Amino acid sequence: MNASSATVSRTLVGRVLWYLPVGLIVLFFAFPLIWMVMTALKQPVDVFSSPPKFVFAPTLDNYKRVLSSDYMGTVGNSIVVAVVSAAFSIVLGTLTAYGFSRYTLRGQDNLLFWILSLRMLPVIAVIFPYFLLFQRIGLTDTLLALMLVYSIFNISFTVWLLKGFFDEVPREMEEAAKMDGYGPWGVFQRVALPLVVPGIATAAVFNIVQSVNEFLLAFVLTQREATTAPVALLNFLTPLGLDWGGISAASTMLVLPVAVFAVLVRKHLIRGMSFGQLE
């Protein structure tokens, strides 16, 4: 009796000691998000009140304003660009990563480093060459231009991430599949690919977030038709000052689809982020 109540209290203490810091950390990282969602529901007077209000009369005015503007079109642009470039990068990146993982190529290390170096370039260094290039071929202010540029960055990341995952697939498993009568494509498709699904999910989320976030390239390469949401947020910078409520509501609309996608693939994500580890 005594002993069991002691273990109960010990596990209770243990749980508190575990959940308290975890809760604090989550709160710390989620706070900007919470603040954004709250601001989106505030009236202008509440936005600037000091001390900040956590209890207030919510309003949907901000959302109404955003939805009736042409902002939602730019969210659509953002999502189309992000999804297409992520899909393209994943198809190409997966095949490339598999090749690097399974076959020895001449100059393999140099090639891999070159691919990685695409990612290390500061955007500002390539922005004007891209601008001039797209102007010459008539692609400025098109979604296609953004898709192409984002894919370059995304492929680099995808190749590196997925090569790590493919490296973890035991060679013997593929040998077994070959002895079971499968050719190279069958082995890839039926054995290797299903085992790196967590990596693909991780790459997809990272790629999409990356594209949705991107500002500088989109700002320079688009004018009206292909404007993406981050660029369109500038419109909330009015001569009368910053429309914080509007920005928050607009940002929420942009975050929402990405968050929904992340939730859908979360099962794979957790395994993906803990890097490979086939059970």
Partner 1 sequence: MTQVRLENVRVAYDGREVVRDASFTVESGELAVLVGRSGSGKTSLLRAITGYAPMTGGRVVVGGTDVTGQPPAKRDIAMVFQSYALYPHMTVDENWRFPLEAAKVPKAEQDARVTRVAETLQMRRLLNRYPRELSGGQQQRVAIGRALVRQPQIFLLDEPLGALDAKLRVEARSAFKSLQRDLGTTTLYVTHDQAEAQALGSKIVVLDGGVVQQVGSPDEIYDDPANTFVAGLFGSPPMNFLPATLERDGEAVVARSGPLAVALPAVVGQKVLAAGVADQVTLGVRPETISRGAEPGPGRAVGRVYVTEPIGHNVLVDVRLGQELVRMRGHRDDDLLARLAPDDEILVAVDPARVLVFDRGSGARLG
- Those residues whose C-beta lies under 8 Å from the C-beta of residue 21, and which sit 6 or more positions away, are none
Output DSSP code: residue 52: P
Question: Do β-strands 241-242 and 237-238 pair in parallel, antiparallel, or remain unpaired?
Answer: antiparallel
Nearer to partner 1, 54 or 185 (CB): 185
Rounded CA-CA distance 14/81 in Å is: 47
Q: Which of residues 108-127 bind partner 1 (CB under 8 A)?
A: none
Nearer to partner 1, 195 or 262 (CB): 195
Nearer to partner 1, 38 or 195 (CB): 195
Residue 21 interacting with partner 1 (CB under 8 A)? no
Q: How far is the CB of 174 from partner 1 (least distance, A)?
A: 9
Among 191, 232, 247, 250, which residue interacts with partner 1 (rule: CB under 8 A)? 191
> For residue 54, which phi and psi values (nearest 5 degrees)?
-100, -20
Among 14, 23, 52, 194, which residue interacts with partner 1 (rule: CB under 8 A)? 194
Site string for partner 1, 138-177 (x = CB under 8 A): --------------------------------x-xx-xxx
Cβ neighbour number for residue 183 with a 10 Å cutoff: 10
Rounded CA-CA distance 55/33 in Å is: 17
For residue 35, give both structure tokens: 């603040």
Nearer to partner 1, 264 or 278 (CB): 278
Rounded CA-CA distance 170/186 in Å is: 16
Give the interface size with partner 1 as a residue count (CB under 8 A).
19
Distance, first Cα to last Cα, the chain: 40
Residue 179 interacting with partner 1 (CB under 8 A)? yes
Output DSSP code: residue 53: P
Nearer to partner 1, 70 or 180 (CB): 180
**Cβ–Cβ under 8 Å, residues 166 and 98:** yes
Among 15, 64, 190, 267, which residue interacts with partner 1 (rule: CB under 8 A)? 190
Nearer to partner 1, 65 or 271 (CB): 271
Interacting residues toward partner 1 by CB under 8 A? 170, 172-173, 175-183, 186, 190-191, 194-195, 278-279
